[in-house]
Amino acid sequence: MRAVRSPLGAHASPLLRTGRSLPFCDERHQRAHQWLVDEAWLLDAQAYEEWLDLLTEDIHYLMPVRVTTALGAGYDTSPGMAHFDEDKYSLSRRVARFLTEHAWTEDPPSRLRHHLGNVRTFATEEPDHLVVDSATLLYRSRGDVREASVVSAGREDLLRRTPHGWKLARRTVMVDDAVIRMQNLAIFL
C-alpha cells in the first residue's frame, strides 16, 4: 500500500511494519485477526458506540479518493482529498448522529455485511503495536426496490495494546473504486 499524506493526520502514530508477515500460527496474528472479525460484527450490527470504544484517542481514520492515473504517474489517490479523514471528534459526531432519531439515511437501516479476508499481521518496532492488512467487501442492501451496493477495499490498520485491550490507532482504507457505487458512505469500513 502506498503512503498517502493527509493534511489532518499529523497527530497519528507514524509506526511502520517491520519484516515479513507473521506466521498464521503466531499468537499475535491470531489476536489481530480475531480483533478484526469481532470489529466486523460490530459494524454489521451498527453497534457504533461499542465500535467507537475500540478506537484510541489519537485515531486517524483515512479513506483517500482513488483516481485513475497513468502507470508511471507515481500516485493513484486524489492529492489532498479523501472520503474520510477523521479524528476521534469527527468520528464521534458521525456516531452521535446515527444515535439520533433523525439520521434518515439509516432509518430504516441498511442490511450490512462486512466480508473480511486476506489478513496479514506484521510486527512493529514496538511490541505493543501491530500492523494488520486486510481486505473488506461491504454488501449493503436497502429497501426492496434498488439493487444492493458493494464497496471493496484494502485496509492497513495499526493496532495498539492498551490497559483496556487492543485498540485501533490508525486505519487507511484503500477503496477499489474511483467512482463509488453507493449512494453515500453512511457506513464504516
Partner 1 sequence: MADQSGVLADVRRGMIPAHIYNDRELFELEKQRVFGRAWVFVAHESEIPQPGDYVVRRVLQDSFIVARDEKGVVRAHFNMCLHRGMQVCRAEMGNASHFRCPYHGWSYRNDGRLVGLPFHQEAYGGEAGFRRKGRRLLPAPNLASYNGLVFLSMDPDAEPLEEFLGDFRFYLDYYTRQSPTGIELRGPQRWRVKANWKIGAENFAGDMYHTPQTHISVVEIGLFREPKAQKRKDGCTYWAGNGGGTTYKLPPGDLDERFRYVGYPQQMVDRMKQMFSADQLRVVGDDGFMISAASVYPNLSFVHNWPRVADSDDVLPFISLRQWQPISEDETEVLSWFAVDAEAPEEFKALSYKAYLMCFGSTGMFEQDDVENWVSLTSTAAGSMARRLLLNSRMGLLEDGAEVVPALTCDQFHGPGVAHAGYGEYNQRELLNRWADDLERPAKPAPTLEVGVGEQARVGSPA
Query: Which is closer to partner 1, CB of 25 or CB of 71?
Result: 71
- What is the per-residue binding string for partner 1 in 54-93, x denoting contact by CB under 8 A? ---------x-x-xxxx--x----xxxxxxxxx--xx--x
Q: 84-122: buried (b, 16+ CB within 10 Å) or exposed (e) per residue?
A: bbbbbeebeebbeeeeeeeeeeeeeebebebebeebbbb
**Under the criterion CB under 8 A, does residue 182 sit at the interface with partner 1?**
yes
Written as nine digits, the cell of 78 is 486524489
- How many CB atoms neighbour CB 16 within 10 A? 12
Sign of CA dihedral 9, 11, 16, 22: negative
43's enclosing H/E stretch is helix 27-44
Query: Which residue type is seen at 30?
Result: Q
**Under the criterion CB under 8 A, does residue 180 sit at the interface with partner 1?**
yes
Smallest gap, in angstroms, from Cβ of residue 102 to partner 1? 4
Of these, 3, 7, 20, 127, which contacts partner 1 (CB under 8 A)?
7
**Under the criterion CB under 8 A, does residue 150 sit at the interface with partner 1?**
no
Footprint on this chain of partner 1 (rule: CB under 8 A): 7-8, 63, 65, 67-70, 73, 78-86, 89-90, 93-94, 96-97, 100, 102-105, 143, 145-146, 178-186
